[in-house]
Structure 1
Amino acid sequence: MLTGKRISGRYHILRPIGGGGMANVFLAEDIILEREVAIKILRFDFVNDIDFIRRFRREAQSASSLDHPNIVSIYDIGEEGDIYYIVMEYVEGMTLKEYINAHGPLHPKEALSVMEQIVSAIAHAHQNHIVHRDIKPHNILIDHLGHIKVTDFGIATALTSTTITHTNSVLGSVHYLSPEQARGGLATKKSDIYALGIVLFELLTGKIPFDGESAVSIALKHLQTETPSARKWNPSIPQSVENIILKATAKDPFHRYESAEDMEADIRTAFDAGRLNEQKFSVQDDEEMTKAIPVITDGAKAAPQAETPGETDDKEQQPAKKKKRKWPWVLLAVCFIFIMAAVLAVTVFPSLFMPKDVSVPDVRGMKYEKAEALLEKNGLRADPDITDIEDEKIEEELMVKTDPKAGSTVKEGSSVKLYKSIGKPKTQLIDVKGRQIGDAKKALKEKGFKHVNVKEENDDSEAGTVIDQNPSAGTDMVASDDEVNLTVSLGPADVTLRDLKTYSKEAASGYLEDNGLQLVEKQAHSDDVPKGQVMKQEPSAGTAVKPGSNVEVTFSLGPEEKPAKTVKEKISIPYEPEHEGDELEVQIAIDDKDHSISDTYDSFKIKEPTEKTIELKIDQGQKGYYQVMVDHKVVSYKTIEYPKDND
């Protein structure tokens, strides 16, 4: 159980707030910066799975490289023992899926306001060469002001890295999966655009466009079935808005938006007066494409007419002349001529049939897109499997070399392998937490780390002890360039007590424990303070105390319970017979501490108006009820309050 645990001496886990198949998410307090954060922790059953750890780290690397108001910020990443964690911005709200379930379908203008923020975030990711690959309402957060935050880049990938979508191994959520991903193909920016179209459909209709009994049946619908009309479920949707869905979810990526920025521009203008009733978006069929029609000249001859039946019969009646068959020899001669022509062409004019030789260009220092374009310009293909290598001189993300090397002669159309720089050689940062600062500096110097910064703060540890390091141990760093930040203990400091009023017992106990103080618990009744909350504390708030000191905290037991009171109530029972002198049956039921309204308290018969006194026993804070029925008709029903002390 992680609740209550402190990670890396800094993050105090408060409670779980979510989770998925790969990780669980907790609300935590950053005790150094005194702020709430969300901390995502890899599930313990995956801590020995290298692929999951790599994917978990990739999420942090993908998201931390992005800076956008609609993308959840990453504050810290690290590991402690078997705990792999990502510390991120805490968004107080709900997932967009929960919001749709609670408020959907949304008004078109509200849906586009939400969608514009989402698309803006994805456009920023695409500009930084990141494909999200798992866009769905479950991975989008919305706060109480309607601000959107896109999260969960757990299966995102860089556009320049090897895809992790393989045949028979498709990652992502099937309801939002593009046709090319469903086939096991490469996930691209346009795959994200397809998922954005599905999300917009769900915002506007409250439904997903494709559903089925199994993942396979849903994937087949993505491949084979056109996206249904959103206006069928919500006729208030303008055609310009539905067109955004239809264009984003086109089966062929070629017909989708060229970029997320183009989709965002369409969203912004969807309610312009000139667009509201525009033509419905459709993909032109091959039969509808403009085709060249051959010119019919005056000299063109009509096809020969078929013989008339009479003529045919006459010819059939004539005896056929026996002819010598020549066609096998003709066919053999034609084949021989073709074979000889092919041999002659290959031997005399080989350049007509063989790829020409081209030179591999020098792509050093170029970004992937530029290097790829240069290779294509020279008639070569860039191998999508890019290898990362360290290099002292060339900056990260730029090309270092090719294989074959630059200047080599290869055949046109050949594949060229690219090597991308990941920067200078890295050294793994050692763990110096728990050491004295002198020893820590010496150990770092021996590893080549030249820039060590030290800050001091009070802590329960012995003075001079390294209590935190940033980056965390195991991080790959350029020892000659990168800074190592150490936090060193000044020893325990006096604790200035907070005002614990309104704290629950659990919260007050946790606060005192975190600050090294001892709880002395007392209890008392209170009419004003809810049960379980702090009524008072000693010493009072603002007092500075030494670690280990006792703090006396009085918790409320709630209002002091008062005994049940007996209330007498006189009831007037009318006598209204159909025939004078008839006996009427009376039934009285009460609901109090000792009786239920479903049971008969008293029954009798009357021949005249009658008064009856009943007694109800009522607990403090409760109410009593009585009901009078005459001949099975309710003639009286009343609520009796708990009597006040002066009643």
Structure 2
Amino acid sequence: MGAVYLATDLQTGRQVALKLLSLQREFSPEDLAEVRQRFLRESRAASSLHHPDILEVLESGEAGSDAWIVMELVQGQDLSAYTRSGQLLPVSQVLKITARVARALAYAHRQGVVHRDIKPANVLVDPVHDSVKLSDFGIARIADGSRTRTGLVLGTPSFMSPEQLAGLRVDGRSDLYSLGVLLFQLLTGQLPHQAESMARLMNAIANEPAADVRRLRPQLPESLAMVVALALEKRPELRYANGDQFADDLDAVARQWVEAMPELDLDLAAQQPPGAQTLHAPAQNVDAFAQTQALDARDPRHNP
């Protein structure tokens, strides 16, 4: 939703990211006033978040029929490119990134702010500076309960929790479900639920258990499969209560992985193409997230 531009703050000379949201074009006239009020409320809430792993919102406002948000400018790229088989990150990096996002969410939830649209495109990583940034807080909430001109409620259905898809009230545990979907995809290159239509996808998310990640990557430890399964529980009360718990379990699995699977790490390193690097040791002018492993799995379908 919206386009992002490189801009310069004329008062400070600082380079920033400017996101423009064309509310009048996106939403029906009868919803526009409510959407504008919601935008101002949500952007204020987002600007109150100050966490090293959350993209900082510096300022927001309206200009004619458009709304705008000024954000800190960060280097790197989002995780979208690393969610397909053959382009996956090392498991240790996936666990570290996911744990950092979980702790960022724990902080936001303590401030009473729910993200509502956790997905690869909203997690920015910079291997040079070991940076992880969660972006777009409140953007999905702007459209909550309103219809776009095309008749669709904004959001990313494949990553939505059962309660969010059902239009029920959501809290931080919905974000943790979405983070569980992201973790599943980063580990396997596939989504936990796939369907040919929106109706079938919604039914699958609401009623069908997600596959065990070990069916797609048998070498993953049982402890990690249990973490993913807990995050993807259908009922919110059965999931992690908060992001700190989620992150603690991911950290524990990461320690076990390094201690118990050094030979597997070596095998993965041997499969890297020339120039491939990990998050902690990027080489100059080399993509630190280059292909690390090819899985014998069919390509995932695109998110509906």
TM-score, normalization: structure 1? 0.36
Could you say which residue in structure 1 is the equivalent of 2:134? 150
Q: Distance in 2 between matches of 1:102 and 1:91?
A: 27
Q: Distance in 1 between matches of 2:71 and 2:86?
A: 27
Higher Rg: 1
Question: How far did residue 164 of structure 1 move?
Answer: 4.4
1:172 and 2:155 correspond: yes
What is the one-letter code of the residue matched to 1:34? G
Q: How does 1:431-580 map to 2 (within 5 A)?
A: none
Question: How far did residue 176 of structure 1 move?
Answer: 0.8
What is the one-letter code of the residue matched to 2:171? T
Tell me: higher relative CO, structure 1 or 2? Use CA pairs within 8 A at least 6 residues apart: 2
Question: How far did residue 88 of structure 1 move?
Answer: 0.6
Could you say which residue in structure 1 is the equivalent of 2:10? 31
1:45 and 2:28 correspond: no
1:233 and 2:222 correspond: no
Residues 157, 102 of structure 1: alpha-carbon distance in 2 compared, 3 angstrom cutoff: same
Q: Distance in 2 between matches of 1:81 and 1:273?
A: 55
SS in 2 for 1:203: helix
What is the one-letter code of the residue matched to 2:159? Y
1:190 and 2:170 correspond: no
What is the one-letter code of the residue matched to 1:56? F
Could you say which residue in structure 2 is the equivalent of 1:130? 113
CA offsets 1:356-387 (integer angstroms, 9 cap, x no match): xxxxxxxxxxxxxxxxxxxxxxxxxxxxxxxx
What is the one-letter code of the residue matched to 1:32? Q
Q: How does 1:418-437 map to 2 (within 5 A)?
A: none
Question: How far did residue 101 of structure 1 move?
Answer: 4.5
Q: Distance in 2 between matches of 1:169 and 1:40?
A: 21
Residues 257, 164 of structure 1: alpha-carbon distance in 2 compared, 3 angstrom cutoff: same
Q: Distance in 1 between matches of 2:115 and 2:195?
A: 25
Question: How far did residue 213 of structure 1 move?
Answer: 1.4
1:73 and 2:53 correspond: no
Residues 276, 31 of structure 1: alpha-carbon distance in 2 compared, 3 angstrom cutoff: same
Question: How far did residue 274 of structure 1 move?
Answer: 10
What is the one-letter code of the residue matched to 1:64? S
Question: How far did residue 151 of structure 1 move?
Answer: 1.0
Equivalent residues of 2:140, 2:154 under 8 A apart: no
SS in 2 for 1:58: helix
What is the one-letter code of the residue matched to 1:30? D
Equivalent residues of 1:130, 1:156 under 8 A apart: no
SS in 2 for 1:228: coil
Residues 165, 82 of structure 1: alpha-carbon distance in 2 compared, 3 angstrom cutoff: closer
Q: Distance in 2 between matches of 1:258 and 1:50?
A: 35
SS in 1 for 2:53: coil
Structure 1, unpaired ranges of 5+: 1-19, 278-647
What is the one-letter code of the residue matched to 1:150? L
SS in 2 for 1:68: coil
CA offsets 1:238-260 (integer angstroms, 9 cap, x no match): 11111111001011222111111
1:215 and 2:198 correspond: yes
Could you say which residue in structure 2 is the equivalent of 1:249? 232
SS in 1 for 2:254: coil
SS in 1 for 2:102: helix
Q: What do you get for the CA RMSD once the two structures are aligned?
A: 2.9
Could you say which residue in structure 2 is the equivalent of 1:260? 243
Question: How far did residue 102 of structure 1 move?
Answer: 8.9
Larger % of helix: which?
A: 2
What is the one-letter code of the residue matched to 1:219? M
Structure 2, unpaired ranges of 5+: 261-304
Could you say which residue in structure 2 is the equivalent of 1:464? none
Q: Distance in 2 between matches of 1:107 and 1:172?
A: 28
SS in 2 for 1:78: strand
Q: Distance in 2 between matches of 1:236 and 1:108?
A: 11
Larger % of strand: which?
A: 1
SS in 1 for 2:39: helix
Q: Distance in 1 between matches of 2:91 and 2:104?
A: 20
Question: How far did residue 106 of structure 1 move?
Answer: 2.4
